Structure 1
Amino acid sequence: MALFTLGLNYETAPISVREKLAFAQHELGTAVAELVTIHGIGEAAIVSTCNRTELYATVKDETSLLSWLAKSRQLQPEEITPYLYRLPDRDAARHVFRVAAGLDSMVLGETQILGQLKDAVREAQDAGGLGPSLNGLFQKAFSVAKEVRSQTAIGANSVSLAAAAVKLAERLFPDIADLNVLFIGAGEMIELCATHFAGRKPRRMTVANRTLERGQALAAQIGGDTFALSELPNRLAQYDIVVTSTASQLPIIGLGAVERAIKARKHRPIFMVDLAVPRDVEPEVGALPDVYLYTVDDLAEVVRQGRAERQQAVEEADAIIERCTDEFMQWLGNRALVPTIRALKDQAERLRRHELERANKLLAKGEDPAAVLESLSLSLSNKLLHAPLAALNQANSGHHANLIDTVRHLYHLHDEE
């Protein structure tokens, strides 16, 4: 089976497509377990974040991956095919190394993707999706990421999504210190955003979350208050800035709720940042005249600042990745040889034991030891040479030259011999 990656990311597909193919965290284990039951798929893992959905697998035929992905998301293959990349063997390995090192991220050099990749690997491992090939691939990817970050400046001066949200807010409002900020969710992304906004000392910061205890824990870190997500429609009008990132599969902020909030605010603007995939805010909200709605794709230009300054680091990182890709492919190729090497050794051992048993019987009968040894060596050499000689004699003209070269190479034969 061959290594293969099928996926899409923020560069190949808009958020409207990515959210259709996204997997929630709780879906990953079941999805991987289902994948590896499909004929022609050996090992499998799924990486799904706001910026990408990727299937890593060992396969006989890549079409099985495409068919499964489309079916699992209740789509037709032709609906998603234009947005997908297909990466076999070396390209697949190189890609995951770039992902782990932060070179394939919207935020160049960001570290969050490495944690997400490790989470995906744990889910795949628990679901029985990892075997020697994918486990070796991901362990090498983690090693590559560490080497890139320790030997290059790839993460220097990067602008994170959280920092970009603050920058955009400062373009809209004269002073964030005069504003009320609402964070919806309590995951890692919201925690990062809350930390960045807290540095600007807003007048009020609030965390809304389904689990009140988790929301209270984050609110305590930033010096804010909290309320249950169920109260959101009645509380939305109190906030000038809303940052949301939940794992909900459906929007939690609808057009009607925002229209009522704007009316209650007497049309004072609301700045909204939706970092969730699938989106937390209905897209129609962005058309309201007093709402400034940004998604992860809208933040792309801001977070790409500083890429030019880090071009040298990118080149250095790519050089490390190319070398490590060569190393991994050599390891993978050596693994593929193991069954053949083992079978060859087993066959030679069987021949050796058979001839040794025959020789011992002859010696037990009183045969001349010299004659027995001569017979042993002659018989053993004949049996060992039988297969290559038969192959040479039976080869057709089209393969004869290649087979001759192969035999000469294997047995170190030279013209003078």
Structure 2
Amino acid sequence: MQLLAIGINHHTAPLALRERVAFPLDRIKPALQMLRTAWYPHAADASRDEPRGETLATLPALDGQTAEAAILSTCNRTELYCATDDHAAREHAIGWLSQFHNVPVDELAPHVYALPQSEAVRHAFRVASGLDSMVLGETQILGQLKEAVRTASDAGALGTYLNQLFQRTFAVAKEVRGQTEIGAHSVSMAAAAVRLAQRIFDNVSKQKVLFIGAGEMIELCATHFAAQNPRELVVANRTAERGSKLAERFNGRSMPLADLPSRLHEFDIVVSCTASTLPIIGLGAVESAVKARRHRPMFMIDLAVPRDIESEVGQLEDVFLYTVDDLGSIVREGNAMRQAAVAQAEAIIETRVANFMQWLDARSIVPVIRQLHGHADAMRIAELDRAQKMLARGEDPSAVLEALSVALTNKFMHGPTHALNRAAGDRRDQLVELLPDMFRPTEGRYGGHR
């Protein structure tokens, strides 16, 4: 079984491309099912007869193997984590990603990274530890990765390999944060948004702030902006109840999302992060707002992927529009304070990668061990059956036990003895060196010391 991490992120692809391959949460489970048939195209015919709603775990296994997968989709990355025997998994995954999102392969492929085996393990560890984030040491990505794993588990897409990978990934992230200062002086996207607002407005406390959405990122932003005691804090959300609850936490107010076009001009600062697949704030609405504000500056932050605010808005005078990528330069200012911890964190990760690869290597011989056990058990059953028949005929139990032990010993020794007799040269020397270790009694067993 081969491990593979494949995807695009803020290092390799611009926002315009990342938002085109982002996965809405409600599409991840069906996407995982489709991805499995991309690895095993001939599984599609077999799976057509399955009832709707079947998961990866219930789809027909091919050649005794079932692919494992998880999808991590955030504003900064879309990644597929895979465990499969498909040797063309990279090409199948890129092709599937292209087809799923209707993005031409030649447009997508140059931005894709494909990391096999230990590179995939190292990447997962670094992502969870915050070393691969736009904000070095940030903690939000760990929660997002855990959610991705829960979703994959609910879809039946996880198995022995990815389960083990992710459990160790979470343990490594905990170890890195506990033993280093990678999270010290951390600058989150939310904190960076406040810092940028302070560059545009001398005093945020005099400004009216509107938050569009009520998810985790908006909650973090509201927490940071509320600490500046803005003149007014308002939350607009599709679900009125959720928006009201969030607003109440910060002594703010809520408003219906439908009122946004008519009330947009009231706000000096607008922070948006929803799960909408289409922009919810268009150029026309902002033009009207700017006119109503008599050209007083408006600061807008679009943290959504895909974007909530049409990109053309950024060309308007008196409007300062920033996206996730634009915040990158702001958050990098705080990175210098955390660089000292990076080397220590990387050392921890390298040790844990080596440990995981040892486990993975050990897994590769499991089929051989099972075969040996099966062969030995078959011999044991055959000789036990013969011994029981001898006892049933009334033969002396001591003689029966002696015959049983001799027969088992001869059968177990036949293979190694035959191999030695047939071997020659270096092959025989290797067997002579290995066989004593293979047949040395384990301490505490077979008459050894207890």
Confirm or deny a common fold (TM above 0.5).
yes
Give the aligned partner of residue 234 of structure 1: 262
Please say if residues 159 and 302 of structure 1, whose CA atoms lie closer than 8 Å, have aligned partners that are also in contact. Answer: no
- Aligned CA distance change for structure 1 residues 178 and 359 (closer, same or farther; 3 Å): closer
Q: Are 2:93 and 1:54 equivalent residues in the alignment?
A: no
The offset of 1:77, in angstroms, is: 2.1
- Between stretches 403-412 and 225-234, larger displacement belongs to 403-412
Query: Could you tell me how far 1:218 is from its partner in structure 2?
Result: 1.2
Q: Which residue of 2 aligns with 1:27?
A: 27
Aligned to 1:9: 9
Partner SS state of residue 321, structure 2 = strand
Q: Which amino acid aligns with 1:297?
A: D
Gaps of 5+ in 1: none
CA deviation after TM superposition for structure 1 residue 115, in Å = 0.9
SS in structure 2 opposite 1:27? helix
Q: What is the distance in 2 between the residues matched to 1:93 and 1:37?
A: 24
Q: Counterparts of 1:368 and 1:48 in 2: how far apart (Å)?
A: 68
Residues 356 and 376 in structure 1, CA contact (< 8 A), matched pair in contact too: no
Alignment match, 1:130: 158
Distance 1:409 1:253, change over 3 A: same
Task: Specify the SS of the correspondent of 1:405.
Answer: helix
Partner of 1:36: 36
What is the distance in 2 between the residues matched to 1:95 and 1:403? 43
Contact 1:362 1:372 survives alignment (8 Å): no
Unaligned runs of 5+ in 2: 41-65, 439-450
TM-score (norm 2): 0.84
Instruction: Report deviation, 1:276.
Output: 0.5
Q: Evaluate the alpha carbon distance shift between residue 402 and residue 226 of structure 1 in structure 2; reply closer, same or farther with a 3 A threshold.
A: farther
Whichever residue aligns with residue 75 of structure 2, its letter is: C
Q: CA deviation at 1:369?
A: 7.8
1:267 to 2:295 alignment: yes
Whichever residue aligns with residue 296 of structure 2, its letter is R
Hey, what's the Cα distance between the residues in 1 that align with 2:426 and 2:103? 51
Match of 2:46 in 1: none
Residue 337 of structure 1 and its aligned partner are, at CA, apart by: 2.3
Counterpart contact for 1:45–1:120, Cα < 8 Å: yes
Q: Residue 38 of structure 2 contacts residue 93 of structure 2 at CA under 8 Å; is this kept in 1?
A: no
Q: Residue deviations 1:83-126, cap 9 Å, x none? A: 11111111111111111111111111111111111111111111
Rate the CA distance shift 1:88–1:201 in 2: closer, same or farther, 3 A. Answer: same
2:132 alignment partner, SS class: coil
Matched, 1:206 2:234: yes
Number of residue pairs matched?
409
203-212 or 27-36, larger mean C-alpha shift: 27-36
Q: Are the counterparts in 1 of residues 390 and 400 from structure 2 also a CA contact under 8 Å?
A: no
Structure 1 partner of 2:219? 191
Contact 2:210–2:236 (CA under 8 A) maintained in structure 1: yes
Over aligned residues, Cα RMSD in angstroms?
2.6
Name the stretch that deviates more: 161-170 or 323-332: 323-332
* 1:280 matched residue in structure 2: 308
CA contact (8 A) 2:420 2:431 kept: no
| Counterpart in the other structure of 1:159 | 187
Instruction: Output the CA distance in 2 between the equivalents of 1:51 and 1:22.
Output: 9
CA spacing shift, 1:406–1:293, aligned 2, 3 Å: farther
Distance 1:407 1:285, change over 3 A: farther
> Structure 2 counterpart of 1:21, which letter?
V
- Aligned partners of 1:8 and 1:186: how far apart in 2? 26
Tell me: CA distance 1:410–1:42, structure 2 relative to 1, closer, same or farther (3 Å): farther
Which range is displaced more, 113-122 or 330-339? 330-339
What is residue 65 of structure 1 aligned with on the other side?
A: 93
Q: Is the 8 A contact 1:4 1:86 kept in 2?
A: yes
Quote how far apart the aligned CAs of 1:23 are.
0.4
Per-residue deviation at 1:64? 2.1
CA shift for structure 1 position 323: 1.4
Trace 1:72-151 onto structure 2 (pairs within 5 A). Answer: 72-151=100-179
Query: 2:137–2:182: 8 Å Cα contact kept in structure 1?
Result: yes
State whether structure 2 residue 249 is matched by structure 1 residue 244: no
Deviation at residue 336 of structure 1 after TM alignment: 2.8
In the alignment, residue 30 of structure 1 is paired with which amino acid?
Answer: P
Equivalent residue in structure 2 for 1:350, among 378, 390, 402: 378
Q: Distance in 1 between matches of 2:427 and 2:294?
A: 83
Secondary structure (helix, strand or coil) at the match of 2:228 reads coil
Code of the residue aligned with 1:260 in structure 2: it is: S
Worse-superposed segment, 81-90 or 382-391: 382-391
Identical residues among aligned pairs (%):
55
Q: Report 1:302-381 matches (<5 A).
A: 302-358=330-386, 377=406, 380=408
Cα 1:367–1:222 change in 2 (3 A) is: closer
Could you say what secondary structure the match of 1:331 adopts? helix
Q: Secondary structure at the match of 2:277?
A: coil
The secondary structure found in structure 2 opposite 1:305 is helix
TM-score (norm 1): 0.90
8 Å Cα contact 1:154/1:317 also seen in 2: yes
8 Å CA contact retained: 1:18, 1:277: yes
Task: Compare 162-171 and 298-307 and name the one that shifted more.
Answer: 298-307
